[in-house]
Structure 1
Amino acid sequence: MHTKFLTNAALALAIAGAVVPSVSFAAQHHAAKAAAKPAAHRKAAAESAGTMPPLPADTSLASGAPALPAKAWLLMDFDSGEVLASANADEPLPPASLTKMMTSFLVEEALRSGKLKKDDLVTVSEHAWCRGSSTESCMYLPLHGQATVMDLLRGIIVQSGNDASKAVAEHMAGSEEAFAKLMNAEAKRLGMTHTHFVNATGLPDPDHKSSARDLAILARAIIRDSAEYYPIYAEREFKYNGIKQGNRNALLYTDPTVDGLKTGHTEAAGFCLVTSSKRNNMRLISVILNTHSAQARADESRTLLAWGFNNFEKATPIPANTAIATPKVSYGKVETVPAGLAAPWTLTVPRGQSVQTSVQLKPNLEAPVAKGAVIGKVIASSNGKPLAEVPLVAQADVERAGFMLRTWQHVTKLFGK
């Protein structure tokens, strides 16, 4: 069968080669007509052919951002949360199983707070039970059986189990509908402003939506707050009930710098992928929503991450443990206080871009001043455009002066001395 196919293909190529000279004018004519078609026609043609038209960046902090065949995409710097480039980042779209990042995050939060324990047993209801349908992802939990919270967490993250997601939702909130309310409350707390969850799985529902920006915010929260459990997102396989399933994130197998996070796919959502990659001292988060194949979501993520790492670098506007300013303090035992940063400060900026800093102090600073108190801010900018700002804090205590000294200081201030 394969031999016949190859023979026919070779014959077709030979015939095509023989007639190229006679149809070259026609080909040029059709190409010119295609180029003249409106963008909407080209988009429809691309989608009917099983592909997506390239979507160029509508925001980018560096030149040369790729155009990617997806309905939305985004690249975020993990440390700062800054969006380095994006396209259609705020349109609410079906997130498919990317939803399960919120499900797993709520489980991780409950484990951290003690509301859940790793070896707690969760019972599988008929609603949660997966009947083995080929149309959904399953952990294949037995009906009315029990599984530990940690097994379910792996079933959600690695195997993308709808049954695991429903079972833990019912265990934590009483019903999947009640769990969705917890999901939405957490989304609001994180600042996910274009997200509404209806279920714990991402199964299709017209009211179940999220955006590329919101999903990057969620991914950042998982990496930042769930350090103990985040390595699970890099696990390539998980075996439960005698069934071993591989992680669907192809980048985990081909790029050692990738350590998460989640894939998703439904007919409405297309193929989706949220990825995190750390190279040297920089971690980037990429989001691809609604592209045309599993291969495309992996390829587009690789392209986006490669562009980010090639075009951005870390900058340190001010070294740590440096006194930036010595503002005056009224009515203190000393007249000034050294001011600096509370923590090391790094920015992700386009390669070769210079960064300038300026200091803004709180006016009329008076004692007492406690070490660590915020007394101003430092603003980083480049080419006149603000990039970021951090608090400026007192690096020492300043005690309030006694009555006589304060009186003298007040008098000298009145006379401008």
Structure 2
Amino acid sequence: MTIIKQLSLAATIAALFTSSTVFATPSNDATNTMPNSDYFAATQYKEAQAPLNSFGAIDVKTSIPENIQVPSAPVEAGGNNGIPETLVQKWTQAGVFSPQVEARAFILMDAKTGQIIAANDANMRMAPASTTKLMLMYIVEQKLAAGVISLDSKVQVPEVAWRTGGSRMFLKPGSFVSVKDLISGMLVESGNDAAVTLANYIAGSQSSFVSMMNAIAVKLGMHNTHFTTVMGLPAPAHFSTAYDLGLLGQHIMNDYPQYFHFFSQKYFEYNHIRQPNFNRLLFTYQYATGMKTGSTEAAGYSLVSSAEIPNNPMKLVGVVLGTKSLNDVAAQSKALFNYGFHFFKQDTLYSANSKLSEQKVWGGQQNTVSIGLEKSLTMVLPSSVDEKGLVTTLQIERDIKAPVDKGEKLGEMTVTYKDKVIQSKPLVALNSVQQGGWFTRTWASISLYFHNLLASYGL
């Protein structure tokens, strides 16, 4: 059901501030607050340096205490639960319950809308380990899409990559390897040698690439993430959160879908050595589409993963951090996806640029302007919710005067369910209306004056 209300500009502004919509806002309680809008961990630990061995490679033998790798979050960074409201919280009146996931932290997000279905301790800082390589891959995708590098480009393996410990694709120093193979070796085999090779190729050095990673973290809104290495080996001030990794996963799926097939490879063979993907979800869950694992002794086993079901428009991003094994993190991720697909659905209620109302314009070359949404209104709803119970209200400015620019905000759409606001979107002009001539404007001013005068008397 759709209700149209015409409001004066002042009334529209007032309505926005008196709406019952729940927004995540900072509070004095550091255990339940969003980070300040100008706070980014990526800019707070510029002096953090990775431990190096005598060859200039990351020293995997150096013991980095967890409190050094994951420093305590200051008040400005928000608390452990400081994320936007989840759908589990928003739909309590529909009998929605939280999933039971055995992990230190988790989050489940809709990839298209970014809506958070469920979460626990999703703002808690943790060591990301090799899930760090997701940010490296995101930057590689940027460079590929921009034409700066190509998948067939041949890259010489530096000795520092060969000297880097941990998981590897067994590159030989001085050899030339395609970017395509380096990507596969990094994502399937979690090759640190491949990660270092790609970072040096793109930025000239690992430290320069780390600066790029932190800059992108700020751009994507990853408030509680700081990178010190390119591949995730333990280092001072190298941490992220389930929420931040979920944001990164969402951007990887949406921004560069042409490269997403790399994440779904179950095996990769290089130099006659065939290795399976550490992401065991690819082998145990038919709807899994990929992404990346990570593990450290302190943080346990983690997985950023994605899934989609044929003929279901909803694509999900799951992040499970801090489990006991690769099998365990895959099982917990599968349970999280089963929960999301079973208890939630995605629907586009209104398409972008579709006319929802036609309103009079005073003093224009045209008498009316079409009003609608700049972007589609796509929502994730509990499967139990009957969409006929959703009530859409259009609050539109009453006296619209020319000129009107296309895309100019002219009101607000509010969707409610059982009197609770569940979504709000700005209404915009779908076309421009130029100002009329002198006579048109003068006549419009006179007409508008008497129109409002009569309206004030209820006529």
Same fold (TM over 0.5): yes
Query: Residues 341 and 300 (structure 1 numbering): CA distance in 2 closer, same or farther, change over 3 Å?
Result: same
Residue type of the alignment partner of 1:246: P
1:336 aligns with 2:376: no
Q: Distance in 1 between matches of 2:159 and 2:422?
A: 52
- 2:286 maps to 256
1:345 aligned onto 2:362: no
Partner secondary structure for residue 133 of structure 2: helix
Give 1:358's aligned amino acid: T
Q: State the distance in 2 between where 1:137 and 1:222 align.
A: 23
Q: CA offset at residue 343 of structure 1? A: 4.3
Q: What's the secondary structure of 1:324's corresponding residue?
A: strand
**Residue identity in the other structure for 1:147:** V
Given that residues 317 and 356 in structure 1 are in contact (C-alpha distance below 8 angstroms), is that contact kept between their aligned partners in structure 2? no
Match in the other structure for 1:377: 412
Label 1:165 to 1:362 Cα distance change in 2 as closer, same or farther (>3 A).
Answer: farther
Matching residue's letter, 1:86 = A
Corresponding position: 1:172 with 2:205: no
| 2:131 corresponds to | 98
Q: 412, 421, 424: which one pairs with 1:389?
A: 424
CA distance in 2, matches of 1:203, 1:300: 24
Q: 1:131-188: per-residue Cα shift (whole Å, max 9, x none)? A: 7x6xx21011101222122211111112211011111111212211111110010011
Distance 1:264 1:320 in 2: 38
Conservation of the 8 A alpha-carbon contact between 1:204 and 1:268: no
Point out the more displaced range, 296-305 or 251-260: 251-260
What does residue range 123-142 of structure 1 map to in structure 2 within 5 Å? Answer: 123-130=156-163, 136-142=166-172
The amino acid of 1:180's aligned partner reads V
Q: Which stretch of the first structure deviates more once superposed, 250-259 or 298-307?
A: 250-259
Q: Which residue of 2 aligns with 1:406?
A: 441
Q: CA deviation at 1:304?
A: 0.8
- Deviation string, structure 1 residues 278-325 (Cα, Å, up to 9, x no partner): 121111111100101111101111111111111111234336675322
1:28-67 equivalent positions in 2, closer than 5 A: 60-61=88-89, 63-67=96-100
Query: How many residue pairs were aligned?
Result: 359
Structure-2 residue corresponding to 1:288: 320
Deviation, 1:130, is 4.6
* CA distance in structure 2 between the partners assigned to 1:382 and 1:177 by the alignment: 51
**Range 61-70 or range 400-409, more displaced:** 61-70
Q: Highest Rg: 1 or 2? A: 1
Matched residues in 1 for 2:212 and 2:303: separation?
A: 24
Contact residue 112 and residue 254 of structure 2 kept, 8 A: no
Aligned mates of 2:218, 2:346 — CA distance in 1: 30
Deviations for 1:167-212, whole angstroms, at most 9, x for unmatched residues?
1111212211111110010011000011000011111123100000
Q: Which amino acid aligns with 1:92?
A: R
TM-score (norm 1): 0.80
Root-mean-square deviation over aligned CA pairs: 2.3
Name the CA distance, whole Å, in 2 between partners of 1:241 and 1:102. Answer: 26
- In structure 1, what is the equivalent of residue 344 of structure 2? 312
Give the drift of 1:119.
Answer: 2.2
Match of 1:218 in 2: 248
AA matched with 1:93: M
| Change beyond 3 A, Cα 1:226–1:316 | closer
Alignment of 1:67-86 (within 5 A): 67-86=100-119
Match of 1:119 among 149, 152, 169: 152
Contact 1:139 1:164 in 2 (8 A): yes
In the aligned structure 2, how far is the partner of 1:319 from the partner of 1:185? 34
Q: Does 1:107 align with 2:137?
A: no
Output the CA distance in 2 between the equivalents of 1:368 and 1:403: 13
The correspondence for 1:324, drawn from 351, 356, 368, is 356
Task: Identify the residue that residue 238 of structure 2 maps to in structure 1.
Answer: 208
| Cα distance in structure 2, aligned partners of 1:91 and 1:206 | 17
What code does the residue aligned with 1:140 have? F
Query: In 2, Cα distance between the equivalents of 1:240 and 1:113?
Result: 27
TM-score relative to the length of structure 2: 0.73
